[in-house]
C-alpha cells in the first residue's frame, strides 16, 4: 500500500522492520545474498523500512556496502546507515530506507551496562525525520537492542522512551528488541508507545518458537492508529521474519 493522504487530514503509511542477518541466509553458511533480502523488501512496498544487522565493507560480506546496495536494489531514493560498531575491517549497524526525504539524521548511541562476560555489543538507534507529501513529518527510528545482557536491554528501552519524550513530532520506532512480550523491556516500551500488535505472532526463526522479538511502535498514542499488522512468513532469507504494518497518522 503506498502512502495516501485523506481529505480529513490523516495520512496512511506502511512501515516495515526486518533483521536481515547481514544478508546471510541461515541455511547457507558463508553465503551473502543481498538480492534475496532486497526482493523481500520490494515485495512489501512499504513507505519506510527499518533494517538491522547491516554490513558495510566487512570482510565477512565480501567488502560490499550492503546499505548502499539495498537502497539501490529496492528502489528507495533515500537511506541512512547508522554504525553501531567497527567490525571485520568494516562497519556493522542499522539502516533506514525511505520513499520520502529524510532530514535531521542522527546516530544515537544507546547505553550499556557493565558486561563482565564481554558478549554485549554497542547498540544504536538510526534516527531521521521523514518528510511526507503535503507537509506532514514524523520522526523514525531503526534499532537493534542488546541480545545477551538484560540490564543493558532495559536501559536501552528507557533511553528510547526518553527520545520519544524529547520530540514534538509523532515518533515511530521499529526494530529487533530481543525481548518477548510481557518482559520488563517491552513493558517499559509500552509506557510511552502503542505497539502495533498484542499477543504478537512470532518473528524469530529458531530451533523452537521464540515468539515475537521484532516490533513496530508509535508515540504519542493520540497521533497514531494501527490499521494492520502482519508477519511475512519467510523463514529462508534471514533468521528473522519481517513485520509489516499500516498506520494512520493523524
Q: Tell me which residue of 217, 137, 238, 127 sits closest to 174, measured CA to CA.
A: 217
pLDDT tier, 119 (very low <50, low <70, confident <90, very high otherwise): confident
In DSSP notation, the chain reads: ---EE-TTS-EEEEEEEEE-GGG--TTSTT---HHHHHHHHHHH--SEEEEEEEEES-GGGTS-BHHHHHHHHHT-SEEEEEEEEEETTEEEEEEEEESS-EEEEEEEEPP----TT------EEEEEEEE-TTS-EEEEEEEE--SS-HHHHHHHHHHHHHHHHT-SS-EEEEEE----TTSHHHHHHHTT-EES-SSPPP-BBSSSB----EEEEEESGGGEEEEEEEE----SSSSB--EEEEEEE-
Predicted local confidence at residue 8, as pLDDT: 55
Q: Which domains does the chain have, with CATH numbers?
A: 4-249 (3.60.10.10)
Predicted local confidence at residue 117, as pLDDT: 72
Q: Is the pLDDT of residue 232 over 60?
A: yes
Q: Is the pLDDT of residue 72 over 90?
A: yes
Question: Which tens digit of pLDDT belongs to each residue from 126-135?
Answer: 999 999 988 8
- Residue 14 contacts residue 45 (beta carbons within 8 Å): yes
Q: How many beta carbons lie within 10 A of that of residue 250, not counting itself?
A: 13
Q: Tell me which residue of 192, 183, 177 sits closest to 143, measured CA to CA.
A: 177
Radius of gyration (Cα) for the chain, nearest Å? 17
Question: Which tens digit of pLDDT belongs to each residue from 144-201?
Answer: 999 999 999 999 999 999 999 999 999 999 999 999 999 999 999 999 999 999 999 9
Query: CA 124 to CA 145: how far, in whole Å?
Result: 8
Place of cell 520519544: 164
Mean pLDDT of the chain: 94
* pLDDT > 70: percent of the chain: 96
pLDDT tier, 207 (very low <50, low <70, confident <90, very high otherwise): low
Amino acid at each position: 500500500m503506498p502512502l495516501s493522504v485523506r481529505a480529513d487530514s490523516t495520512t496512511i503509511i506502511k512501515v516495515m522492520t526486518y533483521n536481515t542477518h547481514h544478508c546471510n541466509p541461515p541455511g547457507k553458511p558463508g553465503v551473502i545474498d543481498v538480492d534475496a533480502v532486497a526482493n523481500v523488501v520490494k515485495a512489501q512496498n512499504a513507505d519506510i523500512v527499518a533494517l538491522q544487522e547491516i554490513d558495510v565493507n566487512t570482510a565477512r560480506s565480501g567488502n560490499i556496502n550492503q546499505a548502499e546496495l539495498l537502497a539501490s536494489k529496492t528502489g528507495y531514493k533515500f537511506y541512512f546507515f547508522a554504525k553501531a560498531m567497527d567490525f571485520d575491517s568494516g562497519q556493522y549497524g542499522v539502516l533506514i530506507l525511505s520513499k520520502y526525504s529524510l532530514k535531521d539524521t542522527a546516530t544515537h548511541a544507546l547505553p550499556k551496562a557493565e558486561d563482565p562476560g564481554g558478549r554485549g555489543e554497542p547498540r544504536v538507534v538510526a534516527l531521521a525525520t521523514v518528510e511526507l507529501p503535503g507537509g506532514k513529518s514524523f520522526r523514525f527510528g531503526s534499532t537493534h537492542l542488546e541480545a545477551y545482557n538484560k540490564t543493558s536491554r532495559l536501559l536501552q528501552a528507557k533511553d528510547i522512551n526518553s527520545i520519544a519524550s524529547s520530540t514534538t513530532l509523532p515518533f515511530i520506532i521499529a526494530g529487533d528488541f530481543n525481548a518477548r512480550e510481557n518482559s520488563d523491556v517491552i513493558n517499559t516500551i509500552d509506557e510511552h508507545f502503542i505497539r502495533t500488535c498484542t499477543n504478537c505472532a512470532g518473528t524469530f526463526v529458531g530451533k523452537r518458537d521464540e515468539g515475537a522479538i521484532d516490533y513496530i511502535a508509535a508515540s504519542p498514542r493520540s497521533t497514531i492508529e494501527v490499521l494492520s499488522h502482519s508477519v511475512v512468513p519467510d523463514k529462508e532469507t534471514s533468521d528473522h521474519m519481517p513485520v509489516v504494518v499500516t498506520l494512520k497518522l493523524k
